[in-house]
Amino acid sequence: MTETENLESRYLKSGLKMTGQRRTIIKILDEASDHPSVETVYARARQIDPSISLATVYRTLSLLEEMDLIIKRDFNDSYARYDTNIDHHHHLIDMESGAVIEFKNEELEALKLKIARDLGYDLLDHRLELYGRKKSSSS
């Protein structure tokens, strides 16, 4: 969960232009601990810069995704959501609150490599999502 560098400095290294709009969006992503949708990023961006357009949010998020600075996800929603954390991890989605919890598991990493190997494949990427309900020890 602790990243060496924030998104802004990683972006700056690319040499691409830094505009007011991009700075706004990158700041929002840097501060986001959730996995915001385009609309959410847009809403937050408007609080900082009311004149920003949705098209710019779409374009900037696509750009950052192509640069592998963020990752596009779909948690069975009808819209895309973005993940700022590029470290490899998985998600547990709380089906009651919609909260997304990140986790890592070494055993799983080993197992999935083994499964792919057994099927005759080199693993390039993968995803695991768990959908659950919070255990209540009382009720």
66's tokens: 């192509």
Please tell me whether residue 113 adopts helix, strand or coil conformation.
helix
Interface of this chain with DNA, residues 16 to 35, rule: CB under 7 A: 16-22
What residues are paired with 91 via a beta bridge? 102, 129
Q: Is 43 in the site for DNA (CB under 7 A)?
A: no
Question: Torsions phi, psi of 25, nearest 5?
Answer: -65, -40
Which residue in 43, 54, 128, 130 binds DNA (CB under 7 A)? 54
Complex with DNA: residue 79 or 131, whichever CB lies closer:
79
Q: Which does 125 bind (CB under 5 to 8 A by kind): DNA, a copy of itself, none?
A: a copy of itself
Residues lying near DNA in the complex (CB under 7 A) are found at: 16-22, 37-39, 49, 51-56, 58-60, 62, 78-80
Which residues make up the interface to a copy of itself (CB under 8 A)?
74, 76, 92, 94-95, 101, 103, 105, 107-108, 111-112, 115-117, 119-135
